[in-house]
């Protein structure tokens, strides 16, 4: 990248926040997605919305491409600049601007870490439910751009259920404000919802207003062992069919259980096909009733062990089994390909079976865990990118898994986004007309195509 352009950027954000040395460029050349790397031309860390607007106007004028980046925890290659452009990193914009207890909203700068917001609102008896597994590092801006889900998605929904207002800097530096604190707003197209999930391709969020709810009074955490996979899967759909909506209904298969136990020593059984982590929350009487109903359903489906946490510490330990699943799997082999196949809840049993059969067919080690209550499974292939033959088999296996997912009425990504990692599967899912509309929207927001090019389609 030309020195004069880097100098112009540094005049906007400050020289210490303009990084172009080889070490920094190497650090920002990858995210949490395996196999993908590419060094940007320069990295800028703006400190205000005004600085973002000036950076965008400069880049738009010069036709230089910009990739927004929060903490780089996405799993679809979304925050990598593949054309030596500008990476715009948001970590300096980390202030919680307001917690409005009358309107039940919080307004944050884009770089606020998700769990920081959790802590701040919970200290006031309020609750911001979206809790991606990465919540201790991911940013609110990244969560909005990916429409992140989490362990509490079944009962409380995902990020887009909470976004009420956005301040977005468009590709040419213009500021777009959408929504706000009003609960009802039907004035024109719902641009908030359109911008959520846009993966950095339509604009750069600088401020985000989210809805808060009262913090649940109490919760109960349960861990249930199932000798047979089918019974665990049936339990998931029968719990919701019984009109019980747990906050959390998570699944770990045999491979994942083994890896978690070797890593975290939480006392998981090594001789069962599956465990479910279940959490119910709310009014104490309701929690008791739901927990009893769940126990009954689990026993009717031949669970071999049903454990209820007696203390908050024990609850944390049980939840750890699920929270550490990815880290536990990731240490087994050098490369971890974490996928995001999502099917209707009733298809979980055939989907998990299909994943296991496909792993056998291609001689791969694949562990599956995920948000079973949402039908959102994470088949995770433990491999080594230095072995081209194994990597090719992994890609063929995932191709088949996604074909089957679509055939079951599911989707190629429930929460990780398309980015570059999954764009080859998108046409099959949304069809030509879907792609045409999406391209039209991209053109309306970013006619020169400078924002996060090559992502989604
Ligand atoms: C261990 C682990 C567990 C995870 N668990 C979950 C989970 O449970 N649920 C889930 O949904 N995801 C999960 N993820 C994926 C990931 O953490 C989320 O997608 C997260 O929202 C990304 O946030 P980030 O700040 O790291 O964003 P980045 O990875 O930096 O960016 C993600 C995308 O957002 C865009 N972007 C970032 N900031 C902005 C902005 N200000 N304006 C516009 N676009 C922007 C980027 O261009 C990119 O396309 C997990 C990842 C890991 C590594």
pLDDT in tens, 230-256: 899 889 989 999 999 999 999 999 999
Q: CA–CA separation, 142 vs 11, rounded Å?
A: 26
Q: CA–CA separation, 392 vs 387, rounded Å?
A: 9
Residues 203-223 as b/e (b if ≥16 CB within 10 A, e otherwise) read: bbbbbbbbbbeeebeebbbbb
pLDDT over threshold 90, residue 67: yes
Interval 389-433: pLDDT, tens: 999 999 999 999 999 999 999 999 999 999 999 999 999 999 999
User: Going by CA atoms, what residue is nearest to atom 19 of ligand 1?
Assistant: 74
User: Going by CA atoms, what residue is nearest to atom 9 of ligand 1?
Assistant: 132
Using alpha carbons, select from 371, 368, 418, 342 the residue that is nearest to residue 156. Answer: 371
Reduced to 3 states, what is the DSSP secondary structure of residue 89? strand
pLDDT of residue 349: 86
CA 87–ligand 1 middle distance (angstroms): 15
Measured N-to-C along each axis, helices 284-300 and 229-241 cross at an angle, to the nearest 10 degrees, of 140
CA 89–ligand 1 middle distance (angstroms): 13
Work out which ligand 1 atom sits closest to the CA atom of 93. 41
Best mutation site among 70, 338, 417, 453 for ligand 1 pocket (most ligand atoms within 8 Å of CB): 70
Using alpha carbons, select from 148, 139, 111 the residue that is nearest to residue 376. Answer: 148
The answer to whether the CB of 251 falls within 8 A of the CB of 231 is: no
pLDDT of residue 316: 87
Work out which ligand 1 atom sits closest to the CA atom of 168. 42
Interval 17-44: pLDDT, tens: 999 999 999 999 999 999 999 999 999 9
Report CA 49 to chain centroid distance, whole Å. 24
Best mutation site among 31, 74, 133, 191 for ligand 1 pocket (most ligand atoms within 8 Å of CB): 74
Residues lining ligand 1, CB < 6 A? Answer: 31-32, 67-75, 78-79, 90, 110, 132-134, 138-139, 141-143, 145-146, 148-150, 199-200, 204-205, 326, 415-416, 452
318 to each of 113, 219, 331, how far by Cα in Å?
A: 24, 13, 21
Which sign, positive or negative, has the C-alpha torsion 413, 416, 422, 423?
positive
Interval 90-128: pLDDT, tens: 999 999 999 999 999 999 999 999 999 999 999 999 999
The answer to whether the CB of 328 falls within 8 A of the CB of 338 is: no
DSSP-derived letter for residue 134 is T
The continuous run of DSSP H or E covering 371 comes out as strand 365-371
Q: What is the mean pLDDT of residues 255-264?
A: 92
Which span out of 111-115, 265-269, 310-314 was modeled with the highest average pLDDT? 111-115
pTM: 0.95
Q: What is the CA radius of gyration of the chain?
A: 22
CB atoms within 10 A of CB 332: 17
CA 132–ligand 1 middle distance (angstroms): 9
Best mutation site among 43, 53, 89, 145 for ligand 1 pocket (most ligand atoms within 8 Å of CB): 145
User: Going by CA atoms, what residue is nearest to atom 28 of ligand 1?
Assistant: 72
Reduced to 3 states, what is the DSSP secondary structure of residue 1? coil
User: Going by CA atoms, what residue is nearest to atom 15 of ligand 1?
Assistant: 74
Helices and strands: H and E segment counts in the chain: 15, 18
The answer to whether the CB of 278 falls within 8 A of the CB of 267 is: no
CA 265–ligand 1 middle distance (angstroms): 29
């Amino acid at each position: 990248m030309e020195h004069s352009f880097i100098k112009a950027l540094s005049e906007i954000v400050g020289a210490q926040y303009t990084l172009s040395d080889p070490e920094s460029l190497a650090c920002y050349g990858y995210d949490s997605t395996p196999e993908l790397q590419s060094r940007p031309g320069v990295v800028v860390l703006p400190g205000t919305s005004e600085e973002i607007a000036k950076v965008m106007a400069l880049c738009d004028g010069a036709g230089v491409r910009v990739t927004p980046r929060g903490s780089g925890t996405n799993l679809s290659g979304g925050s990598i600049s593949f054309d030596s452009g500008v990476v715009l990193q948001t970590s300096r914009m980390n202030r919680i601007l307001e917690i409005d207890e009358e309107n039940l909203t919080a307004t944050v700068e884009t770089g606020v870490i998700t769990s920081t917001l959790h802590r701040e609102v919970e200290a006031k008896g309020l609750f911001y439910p979206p809790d991606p597994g990465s919540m201790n590092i991911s940013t609110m801006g990244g969560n909005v751009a990916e429409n992140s889900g989490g362990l509490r998605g079944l009962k409380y929904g995902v990020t887009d259920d909470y976004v009420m207002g956005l301040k977005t800097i468009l590709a040419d530096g213009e500021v777009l404000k959408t929504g706000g604190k009003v609960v009802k707003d039907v004035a024109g197209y719902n641009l908030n919802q359109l911008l959520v999930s846009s993966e950095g391709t339509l604009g750069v969020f600088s401020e985000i207003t989210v809805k808060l709810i009262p913090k649940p009074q109490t919760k109960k955490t349960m861990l249930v062992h199932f000798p047979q996979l089918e019974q665990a899967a049936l339990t998931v759909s029968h719990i919701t069919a019984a009109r019980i909506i747990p906050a959390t209904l998570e699944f770990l298969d045999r491979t994942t259980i083994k890896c978690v136990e070797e890593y975290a020593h939480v006392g998981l059984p090594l001789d069962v096909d599956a465990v479910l982590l279940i959490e119910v929350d709310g009014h104490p009487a309701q929690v008791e009733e739901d927990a009893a109903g769940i126990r009954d359903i689990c026993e009717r489906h031949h669970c071999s062990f049903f454990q209820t946490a007696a203390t908050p510490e024990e609850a944390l330990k049980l939840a750890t089994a699920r929270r550490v699943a990815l880290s536990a799997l990731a240490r087994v082999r050098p490369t971890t390909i974490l996928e995001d196949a999502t099917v209707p809840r009733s298809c979980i049993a055939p989907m998990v079976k299909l994943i296991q059969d496909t792993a056998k067919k291609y001689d791969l080690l694949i562990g599956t865990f995920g948000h079973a209550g949402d039908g959102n499974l994470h088949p995770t292939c433990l491999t080594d990118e230095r072995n081209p033959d194994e990597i090719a088999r992994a890609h063929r296996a995932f191709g088949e898994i996604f074909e089957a997912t679509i055939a079951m009425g599911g989707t190629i990504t429930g929460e990780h986004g398309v980015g570059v990692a999954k764009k080859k599967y998108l046409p099959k899912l949304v069809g030509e007309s879907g792609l045409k509309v999406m391209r039209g929207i991209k053109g309306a927001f970013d006619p020169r195509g400078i924002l996060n090019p090559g992502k989604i389609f």
